[in-house]
Structure 1
């Protein structure tokens, strides 16, 4: 009988431990679960590093662990399998998660828009996008770089068949250009600045500024997860806003934190930040109220729909949960 009681006690303990390791987050040893937030070394996600370093997550009594990924595909897979509960992704990636994978997700914070911080760069030998016809171009498939390249093709009445496409990660695309293995690379900051610092002749022939509203980012979570954690979105919005405020009031310290988090040099940040528009919570609300955010995301959906067939219906209004 004692053995039976002991077995039941152990079994109950194991089941309790397993219950704490589902999509709600992992146990942090106390009553508050730990939520894993995935992000790439993209400067647009930098305020989350500031939030972590300055204790803003703790201020609002939420345990958030930042998990870094090098490639979009790895982050997306981790989110789909619930290895992470929150994901910072490009807007077009959110649409694909719904349209191709059938995920029920919500955008809870609209983070940024890239103007010059996403670009197709090349050496001084080529002065325009059209000059690169027939040349080798490296970029990461399914990412903002892919989307930007496809839009550049459309604007210049060309197709991918007019180029020798070399698929690689955003970081490796830049390295390939720097080592003259390709003629151009489509990538983002801080990789763009890293390459320009090594070769002053490197310049952009097409960037986010040529396609306003095309490249933007958001923090997303699965709808089921948000239902289980109804107060989390409001807290994350406050954390995001206070991180932006801290950075504005303490630019030097903020830049140090951001440089460490993204792996970029502090001195490179000023020009990088000129190419990124961060959205405050009030600005996000204005974009929602005016309908401009919905229109921009619908535009991206249209571009994707012309390139690939979605397996599932994509309702932009259902994705946008910006309050």
Structure 2
């Protein structure tokens, strides 16, 4: 279960919890092992907050001759847990305590590995402001520079979240206009990559990777998970590019879980039998949309020579690049050979 760490002293919470359970059930509940003749035998039970040995422990003063049955103890544990959560929540909502922010919530959520439901529940509990429609953006720098956050805060003064994490910076950048078309929104996301990359290179002299998730509203946790996944895809398939957006992952998302041996076998089967000359011809043919004339011009060879080479490729591999199915097979093999990095 999710660990709850109260900001109030645990002993005070337990005393209040024991008092409330006693009032609601009529049973004598204690927060310490206080044994007196009047109270009888103490039967311990835990409020199972996190499932470890450090969970709050309460004691039931059992005055009857027989031991309490397991169902009674279980019901008390469930009741105590719900009441404990309420007490902790009231403590967190105390205006005198430190206010919660999206950044602080992200810190705690990542540390405790929350899921979307828990993150949403906590955001509602702490009454955090609703995020405007925007882009989740994660900026990685090599080497990391302590002024990255300051520079980007000046570039995006209206960013609603600015959270440093693992030598990177997570931003929630508001969308400039709510009426933008889907195409324009994506163009705006691409522009963010270029302006951040250029600014940090000019101002701080650092190499930057900018990862942009799908535009959304009030969906910070999913945005964070999305840009983290983009970081892995970028490192594996797009190393050297200034950034990556969620809508430009292409085949990388499909092949991100592909085993190295499987990819190597596929590449070898399709391309391993081709000479360097035939492989170059095949690449040019695909890049020129299967056009004989355009490919021949690009390679500075006669059309008949190109036709001969394509026939040779078909003979060696069993796939005809002039047909759609064959072209797709070869395109995937060449893409894997070019982009798969292990």
User: Between Structure 1 and Structure 2, whose CA radius of gyration is higher?
Assistant: 2
> Shorter-chain-normalised TM-score: which range?
under 0.3
TM-score of the aligned structures, taking structure 1 as reference length = 0.21
Q: Normalising to structure 2: TM-score of the pair?
A: 0.20
